[in-house]
Structure 1
Amino acid sequence: MRRGLSDRSRPPYVTLLLIAANILAAFIVLVRPEWVDEYGFRSSAPSVITAFTSLFVHANALHLMGNMVFLAAVGVAVEIATGSGRFSLVYFASGLVGVGLYWVATRRMEDPPALVGASGAIAGCAGYYSLRYTKLRVPLAPKRSASVAFITVLWLLLQLAGAIINIGQPVQASGFFAHFGGAICGVILGLLLKAPDLGGMRLGHAVLDALNDQGPEAQIAHLRAHLSQHPGDISVQLRLAHEYEELGDKAEEIALLSKLVFGAQGAEQVQSVDRLLDLNGLSSVTPVRRRQLADQLETSQAIKVLMTIVDGDKNDPQRPEAMLDLAGRSQGSEAEDFARRLAEEYPLHATTEVARQKGWLV
């Protein structure tokens, strides 16, 4: 029985830390209400520091609750789908762009209020998220639905309209400017970072799961069709490799796994490397790339990958480098054995001198 497709899951550590930091700041504001003015962003006295701190300070409990609920929903989805690093970039860049647009719109006003809240940053996550799920449809009424892309564009237009209508009233307009600026930043980052359409991918996964009972040939045809539209879909590539295994097509399986070992992460990468080792298929990967791959793996698996170089062509210029890598990754007598073998086979090679300097050769 084939397993269904599912997204890779990572704990959303950054989202949880952001929520905790915002709640902590809210408790401090209860004790020191002046924090809203001290750490909120003021157009009359702009500061990079307050532009950043304003993302954590909220005006009241209702303001905080609304933002944290939305952050828990959208932030988790974006972080799990894109990774903590990219999520952090989208969140903080969008928040700061929202602050920047607020400053541009209110800098000539007389004593505009301090801008506080994570709304702009969260709106940026929503903008980025919308690009990843453009084809998903949201039910609006019985037999009526709209795509995520349509809803996002409509929301942006409403924010822009609200900002324009309230242009002379900074208290009302400030939120609109921050929301609009943050969301636009999120959309632009989604385009620049080439955020894949996860909505289309998920719809494709649902179709593929419904075809689980078909034979390998039919599965392969459907999987290839899906990958022609979503070439970066790692989970489908793994499933395609499994179908090649079921069909006994080692050449196609090795060719696909040789790419997957560099595109997959975590358990999926380990699984792909193990299967490629079982097939003796790492020879399809250049020795230089194999050494790069070893740097991404745990010690035991890295040693197996490096051994494919050492046991290969004796004239390969990467072979002494692989021996040195093995000496560095091994422990005790094994490290000495690799270093000794390096010195015996390549006595004049630069790597032998490196091994001697590191004390691996007595």
Structure 2
Amino acid sequence: MLPPVTLALLAVNVTVFILLQNTNWYRFGSIPSYLLNDPSMFLITAFTSMFLHANIVHIAFNMLALVALGRVIEDAIGSMRYIIVYILSGLSGVALHTIYSLTTNNGFNTPMVGASGAISGIIGLAAAMGDRFAYIWLAVQFIFAIAGLSSIAYFAHIGGFIFGFMMGRLYHDRMYRDSTYLT
């Protein structure tokens, strides 16, 4: 059985994907130019974009990663910390992608969608907990981001990972400090 937040996130993402088929759902994607032209819409879409997916392959890969990581990480850090890291990692991913887009004019008016930034935060958390494969995953994101080989928002992945890693270090340090006895 999946932990409750992972199960809820899976259900929300799949439900949104099904319900928004054959609609103009992309208007709820995070568009970097909104930050300058319509800041309130930027804030709304920074959140809603985390629950939208471009196609069946996109949602399938993201939900597979969510389930694989969520069942381990949520149990390790608790549901409340997990959802906080998930949401704030997604927003951090939007922020870094927006900074990249505004400074390079690459994707300035293109909607960004997907749970990848949030899931990348969970990968960053796993790295902070000792998962060495997570660092390889991050290196690949940097390589693809620099190479610019696709329309994937790699800087959203990197931003999510960095936030998740920082929170993982904070949680790890706090748990270690709380478990040691001072004499």
Number of the residue aligned with 2:74: 79
1:61 aligned partner, one-letter code: I
Number of the residue aligned with 2:39: none
SS of 1:31's equivalent in the other structure is coil
Number of the residue aligned with 1:40: 29
Matched, 1:129 2:120: no
C-alpha separation between the residues in 1 aligned to 2:86 and 2:154?
A: 17
C-alpha separation between the residues in 1 aligned to 2:25 and 2:147?
A: 30
| Long gaps (5+) in structure 2 | 36-41
The aligned runs of 1:265-280 (5 Å cut-off) are none
TM-score normalised by length of structure 1 = 0.44
Shift of 1:193: 2.1
Matched, 1:52 2:42: no
Check 1:160–1:173 CA distance in 2 against 1; reply closer, same or farther (3 A cut): farther
SS of 2:89's equivalent in the other structure is helix
Q: Determine which structure has greater relative contact order: mean sequence separation of CA pairs < 8 Å that are 6+ residues apart, divided by chain length.
A: 2
Task: Note the aligned Cα RMSD (angstroms).
Answer: 2.4
List 4+ stretches of structure 1 deviating above 3 A. 229-233
Shift of 1:152: 2.2
C-alpha separation between the residues in 1 aligned to 2:81 and 2:173?
A: 10
Shift of 1:97: 0.5
Shift of 1:154: 2.3
Which one has the largest radius of gyration?
1
Deviations 1:271-311 (A, max 9, x none): xxxxxxxxxxxxxxxxxxxxxxxxxxxxxxxxxxxxxxxxx
Number of the residue aligned with 2:3: 12
SS of 1:117's equivalent in the other structure is coil
TM-score normalised by length of structure 2 = 0.85
Number of the residue aligned with 1:176: 154
C-alpha separation between the residues in 1 aligned to 2:124 and 2:117?
A: 10
Matched, 1:162 2:144: yes
2:137 aligned partner, one-letter code: W
C-alpha separation between the residues in 2 aligned to 1:232 and 1:129?
A: 20
Shift of 1:76: 1.8
Shift of 1:78: 1.1
C-alpha separation between the residues in 2 aligned to 1:54 and 1:178?
A: 11
SS of 2:50's equivalent in the other structure is coil
Matched, 1:103 2:133: no
C-alpha separation between the residues in 1 aligned to 2:113 and 2:33?
A: 15
1:183 aligned partner, one-letter code: F
| Long gaps (5+) in structure 1 | 1-9, 135-147, 198-228, 234-362
Shift of 1:96: 0.5
Conserved? CA contact 1:163–1:173, under 8 Å: no
- Larger helix fraction of residues: 2
C-alpha separation between the residues in 2 aligned to 1:174 and 1:64?
A: 14
C-alpha separation between the residues in 1 aligned to 2:102 and 2:171?
A: 31
Conserved? CA contact 2:126–2:134, under 8 Å: no
Deviations 1:7-64 (A, max 9, x none): xxx96111111111101110122131x112x110001113111000000000001100
Shift of 1:131: 2.1
SS of 2:172's equivalent in the other structure is coil
Number of the residue aligned with 1:261: none
C-alpha separation between the residues in 2 aligned to 1:31 and 1:173?
A: 22
Check 1:196–1:75 CA distance in 2 against 1; reply closer, same or farther (3 A cut): farther
1:152 aligned partner, one-letter code: A
Shift of 1:232: 3.6
Identity value in percent: 36
